[in-house]
Amino acid sequence: MKRLIWMALPFALFSLNLFASDLPCNAHTQMTFTSKHGNWVVRAEHVNQIANIVDLDDQCSPLNQTEPGTDPSQDKQEVTGTLITPTQGLNTGQQLGDNEDFDTGLLFSMAYQPKSGDKHEHPAPVCLVYIAAHGPGDPETRVIELNGARCILREDGRVFSVVAE
């Protein structure tokens, strides 16, 4: 019995550390967005839980806020588009609501934006990035590239980075 406890102890300690709030702004996960070429507008939407997306480099200012309704069909989200360029990325964090758990899902869109005065491409290159959790420490991710867009998603624990090319 003692041996079993000693064998389980490292896993238990690792699990506690994995879910500790060691990210800035009390964030559950961190997502960074960068561009290798051109300007892109990033937007975030929560798929199924009450949470906020905040800018970790701007004093945790909200980029997406969800106001709970009396039932999920009445939840309201305010989504802000943020321009990223090859010299200015976006560093965000997801703050879960008070009564939320790991059954969360996020959908990020990244749409290419031509420089001022340049002709707009039709259809515009777009990347959709889906991040969801099957449970604690078990994320599921997908990237959908549309109209010639190229986006690369990297994952390191609770930190995700997306590079648009």
pLDDT band at 79 (very low <50, low <70, confident <90, very high): confident
Q: What is the CATH number of domain 22-164?
A: 2.60.270.50
For residue 88, what is the DSSP state? B
Q: CB-based contacts of 29: which residues, under 8 Å, 6+ apart? A: 23, 93, 94, 131, 158, 159, 160
- Structural domain boundaries in the chain: 22-164
| CA atoms within 13 Å, Cβ hemisphere of 163 | 8
Q: What is the distance between the alpha carbons of residues 79 and 58, in angstroms, rounded to a whole number?
A: 16
The distance in angstroms from the start CA to the end CA of the chain is 54
For 1-50, write each residue's pLDDT tens digit.
Answer: 555 444 443 433 333 334 445 888 999 889 999 999 999 999 988 877 77
Q: What integer pLDDT is reported at residue 154 of this predicted model?
A: 96
Q: What integer pLDDT is reported at residue 20 of this predicted model?
A: 44
Q: What is the distance between the alpha carbons of residues 146 and 54, in angstroms, rounded to a whole number?
A: 26
The answer to whether residues 107 and 44 touch, using CB atoms and an 8 Å cutoff, is: yes
pTM for the full predicted model: 0.78
Q: What average pLDDT does the segment 130-142 reach?
A: 83
